[in-house]
Structure 1
Amino acid sequence: MDRVLVEKRAAAAVPVDAARAGVPRLVAWAVLAGAGLTVLAVIAMVLRRLPTGSREAGWTYPYDRLAGEWHVLWPALVVTPAVLGLLWLSRRLPERADAAVAAGWFVAVIPLQLLLRTYALPSLGDIVASDRANSFYSPSQRWGIGEFMGNYMGLVEQLPPHARTNMPGKTMLYFLLDALGLGPAAMGVAVLALANLSAVLLWLIVRDLTSDRRIALYALVLGLLLPGTLYFAPVLNAVSPVPILLALWLHVRFLKTGRYGYALGLGCALYLTVFFEALPLVLGVVFAALLGVALRQRTLTWPDVLRLVALTVAGFAVCNALLRGLFGYDLFDNFAYVLADANDFNARWRPYGMWVTRNLWYLALAAGVASCVLLAAATFDAVRRRSIHPAAVLTLSGVAVLVVLDLWGINRGETVRLWIFLAVYLQIAAAWLCARTPRLWPAALLLSAAILQSTAGSAMIGFVRV
């Protein structure tokens, strides 16, 4: 079991001699193109020329500042050398320090993230307390947790707009933060820290599947500096990747070890995903791809698959029974209500045909223009070489998720926010491409582009309104 998706890794890796010779041409051109396009996008942002929605298609993000305010970019000049210095140091620490490196990044990046948001007009506390931006805080102040969950479907029509059209897990998070005695400003920082857990989980997934420290490190840092997260935190879509990536990591752990506890935990994590936000379940395509590879490589048998499914269902059922027993809450009735509301909203306000193409551009605003260029290059290379590297499986299955999600049309507009979970996941492709060389500059340029884009977008565009 421990060899799943790892035993053939060497066959798809870049040869050592080629790596020593310099940066592969595909990597160099993709990184340079991505960085160049990012600079053009940032210039367009500062000049208020970058498209940020479509009035005709039912949604747009307004600009918050006058054109030409170049001074808003100075935080990037401070954060970039700090991040690159930490990256340089992280690459040189021994393998036994990997856990400390991940924990160090998790803590050290928070003040850097806050610095990047210096010119974001709403403060973290204002966003948390605003029913327009974040409807999940006020219900936690109005009702007790027992009353809220015990009569949720009876109260749902009284909730502010976002809370009414979402699952209750987001409001429950604010009950937890309130129980810790945090005020709105401190809650905003706490939510940003929780969002950073998605990058740590991405690091765990990549490390377990590839056994490549460099890919895992780059995925971690790219996830921590994701433009979409920095635009929207502490809006809770920034936290939405955490439950599904936790589920994916538990899935990977079962594939590697066959331990039943991971499968039970997977069921619980999937329940949490639906309870918090069900949309990330579309990443099930990735779960299926990893399962298929394990079966093909004969590191997993069909009886193992049956055990995985049975234990996952059991874990999900236990969580469902627990909430029904404690509060009488029915997850499936709630999910049907939310899905019907989303379909009705789309039918009335958002045309499918326009957003099925525009959504792809707005994914680049969330994932980073440079990272999306590297995603395209990594996808092309994986298909051309028929790569069986674990990162290739993760990349291609991620692209399949993107295609399914876009063509499905459940999201029409606002995908800079709604697809943050996918934007985090897709950083794996960029990390894989940059890790093909021991040279630091491709990863450094990619991260610099992400930081610059995050700074400009946070300052110029009103992604969050209070």
Structure 2
Amino acid sequence: MVPVTETQTAPDQQSDISDEPVAASPPGAPRWFRDTAAILVAAALLVTAILVPFYGSPELKLNIFVLAPPLFGDVDPHGNYSTAVAVAIGLLVIAIGPWAARALRWGPLVVVTWVVAMAWTLSLALIDGWTRGISVQLDRPDEYMPTARGVSDIGRMLQTFDSRILDFQPNSWPTHVSGHPAGALLSFVLLDRVGLGTGTRAGVFCIVVGTSAAMAILVAVGRLAGQDTARRIAPFAAVTPAAVWIGVSADGYFLGVVAWGIALLAISATTDAPRVRAIAGVGAGALLAWGIFCNYGLTLMGVVAVATLVVARRWKPLLWAVPAAIVVVGAFALAGFWWLDGYHLVYERYYQGIASKRPYSYWVWANFAASMCAVGPAAVVGLGRTLRWGAIRRREAVVILGLAGLAAMALADLSGLSKAETERIWLPFGAWILTTTALLPPKHARFWLAAQVLTALLINSIVRTHW
């Protein structure tokens, strides 16, 4: 596959998106059988993750520390006016989303996808009410904003950050602050400095940035696989079940940061303009480096970054991205925070809390059941389709990106530092699994959109998630 450059971005790149097979697929099971098998396997995993804690040992049920396994939240069916709003948005996207994705000009389509994603995310969050759904999410004692408002000296905060990571000392950071690098807290301190320091404003900020990942995904896929392939993804990016956790969690903000890092890397790798390559490469390196200073686990976005360059078959962006990333790392080091020191202390802090009791034997597989709820059934089927020879031949880019997202999840899982809450924590990886929805037949798009919408509505209306 040839990377898309400035001279190759026309909407009608039929060779890249044709539904006709490029070569005869090897004999095997019918497509409907394979899709059904993917859904049945996913459903079996989810049902098992739900039932095992209730029918297993009392110790297991107690120590998984979730009340709606495998999701972190409480089983509490609820709804309000925003339920009707969310249903209306979902029905609208199901009805006209595939048509709009084909009919709109590329630029407006990217923006419209973001606007719909914001509306969808807000409507889901408001099913819990304005206070619980948005304004208090980042204002709880274990969250960022109360601590951010108390930081009077940013320099001293960075210099002493490591010393306050471990628990059981008078000045220990709260749970979420201690569990992330200094860049996460710094982000919210800066929000407070510019007048966005209330829980409501910070929550809206996370929604705006988090949902912008929908644009970043379209931009990246458009550059790597052609705009027509990206158009297939647009409706699914607009109404992803991941919106349940994007609104509102800091991980939604982290998602937006690294998604744009990958998008800029894709631009840098597919352009023939040296200046654009340099600017995009620097931006990619800076954003991806900023991401690892927001969440230690986002070092695994390196898997997606490498996949991007493999698809583009160009490595020149590294000449700009790597130095930019080094500048970010160096700036934090000069300010007093060394990433590796923080990581080792967080590893110790991780096992000072409930993570020491959460059974790895359960979460090593239940993590995927939880994350599957965020990517939705359409992405599950799309991921299953990546294993087909015809899919690999026709849409190499989304196959590689989707598998890269899954590989990042697997590495995070094997680390032992992901036990529960992966529906939120793995959002930046799941976003790239969503690109495999481009492999779904256009004639079935509305069916799978309905499945995505229903999944999000059921989760948000039955489980009171903590984000």
Please give the range of the TM-score, normalised by the shorter of the 2 chains.
Answer: 0.7 to 0.9
Aligned counterparts, 1:20-419, within 5 A: 26=31, 30=35, 55=61, 58-62=64-68, 64=74, 74-85=84-95, 87-88=97-98, 90-94=100-104, 97-120=105-128, 122-132=132-142, 135-144=143-152, 145-156=154-165, 157-182=171-196, 183-213=198-228, 215-231=229-245, 233-257=247-271, 259-295=277-313, 300=314, 305=315, 308-325=317-334, 327-342=335-350, 348-376=356-384, 378-382=385-389, 389-419=396-426
C-alpha displacement of 1:4? 6.2
> Using the alignment, how far apart are the partners of 1:368 and 1:413 within structure 2?
18
Q: Is the 8 A contact 2:83 2:127 kept in 1?
A: no
Bigger shift: residues 200-209 or 257-266: 257-266
1:127 Cα deviation (Å)? 1.2
SS in 2 for 1:60: coil
Aligned partner of 1:459 in structure 2 is: 461
Pick aligned residue for 1:428 from 412, 429, 435: 435
| Residue of structure 2 in register with 1:21 after alignment | none
CA RMSD of the aligned region, Å? 4.0
Q: 1:159 to 1:394 in 2, by over 3 A?
A: same
Identify which range, 143-152 or 72-81, moves more after superposition: 72-81
Structure 2 SS opposite 1:251: helix
Question: C-alpha distance in 2, partners of 1:291/1:116?
Answer: 35
Matched residue, 1:450: 452
> Does the CA contact (< 8 Å) of 2:270 and 2:312 recur in 1?
no
Q: Post-superposition shift, 1:201?
A: 0.7
Q: By how many angstroms is 1:204 displaced?
A: 0.7
Comparing both chains, which one has the higher relative contact order based on Cα–Cα distances under 8 Å and sequence gaps of 6 or more? 1
Provide the secondary structure at the position in 1 that maps to 2:3.
coil
Aligned residue for 1:216, secondary structure, equals helix
SS at match of 1:30: helix
Change (3 A) 1:319 1:73: closer
C-alpha spacing 1:75/1:418, structure 2 compared with 1 (3 Å): same
Taking structure 1 as reference, are residues 162 and 225 closer, same or farther at Cα in structure 2, changes over 3 Å only?
same
How far apart, CA to CA, are the structure 2 residues paired with 1:243 and 1:68? 32
Deviation digits for residues 50-105 of structure 1, max 9, x if unmatched? 789962552313464556989996455322223235525523535xx322222123
**Shift of residue 11, structure 1, vs aligned partner:** 7.1
State the alpha-carbon separation in 1 of the partners of residues 462 and 77 from structure 2.
9
Alpha-carbon shift at residue 107 of structure 1 (Å): 2.6
Amino acid at match of 2:175: P
Identity of aligned residues (%): 18
Q: Secondary structure at 1:444's aligned position in 2?
A: helix
Structure 1 Cα separation of the partners of residues 353 and 235 of structure 2: 36
Could you tell me which residue of structure 2 aligns to residue 22 of structure 1?
none
Partner of 2:26: none
Q: Which amino acid aligns with 1:271?
A: A
Post-superposition offset of 1:155: 4.5
User: Greater CA deviation, 359-368 or 330-339?
Assistant: 330-339
Contact persistence 2:355–2:419 (CA under 8 A): no
User: Using a 3 Å threshold, how does the CA distance of structure 1 residues 401 and 33 change in structure 2: closer, same or farther?
Assistant: closer
Deviations along 1:254-282, one digit per CA (max 9) or x if unpaired, are 32136333333332122201111131322
Contact in 1 for aligned 2:177/2:185 (Cα 8 Å): yes
Return the alpha-carbon distance in structure 1 between the equivalents of residues 231 and 285 of structure 2.
Answer: 28
Shift of 1:388: 6.2
How far off its partner does 1:456 sit?
1.9
Does the CA-based 8 Å contact 2:77-2:461 persist in structure 1?
no
Amino acid at match of 2:290: L
Aligned residues: 432
- Quote the Cα distance in structure 2 between the aligned partners of 1:71 and 1:105: 23
CA–CA distance in structure 1, aligned partners of residues 233 and 344 of structure 2: 35
SS at match of 2:288: helix
TM-score, normalised by the number of residues in structure 2: 0.78
Instruction: Go from structure 1 to structure 2 and tell me whether the alpha carbon gap of 1:151 and 1:221 turns closer, same or farther (over 3 Å shift).
Output: farther
Hey, what's the Cα distance between the residues in 1 that align with 2:369 and 2:151?
40
Q: State the AA in 1 paired with 2:101.
A: R
Read off the aligned partner of 2:284 and give its amino acid letter. L
Deviations, residues 164-205 of structure 1 (Å, cap 9, x unaligned): 121122222222332332332232222111111111111111
Q: CA deviation at 1:343?
A: 5.9
Task: State how far apart, in whole Å, the 1-side matches of 2:118 and 2:311 are.
Answer: 37
Q: What secondary structure is seen at the aligned counterpart in 2 of 1:426?
A: helix
AA aligned opposite 1:460? I
- Paired with 1:249 and 1:313, the residues of 2 have a C-alpha distance of 16
Contact 1:131 1:160 in 2 (8 A): yes
Counterpart-to-counterpart distance in 1, 2:346 and 2:390: 38
Distance 1:428 1:73 in 2: 27
Partners of 2:189 and 2:78 in 1: how far apart? 42
Aligned to 1:15: 20
The answer to whether the 8 Å contact 2:386/2:392 transfers is: no
In structure 2, give the amino acid aligned to 1:237.
D
Which has the larger displacement, 66-75 or 329-338? 66-75
Q: Is the 8 A contact 1:27 1:433 kept in 2?
A: no
* CA–CA separation in structure 2 for the residues paired with 1:104 and 1:73: 22
CA distance in 2, matches of 1:384, 1:205: 19
Between 1:450-459 and 1:397-406, the stretch displaced more is 397-406
Structure 2 residue identity aligned to 1:407: L
Mark the CA change 1:239 to 1:55 in structure 2 (over 3 Å): closer, same or farther. farther
Q: Any idea what the Cα deviations from partners look like across 1:360-382, whole Å, max 9, x if unmatched? A: 21121121134213322x12324
Residues 414 and 292 of structure 1, relative CA distance in 2, 3 Å threshold: same
Give unpaired runs (5+ residues) of structure 2. 24-29, 55-59, 166-170
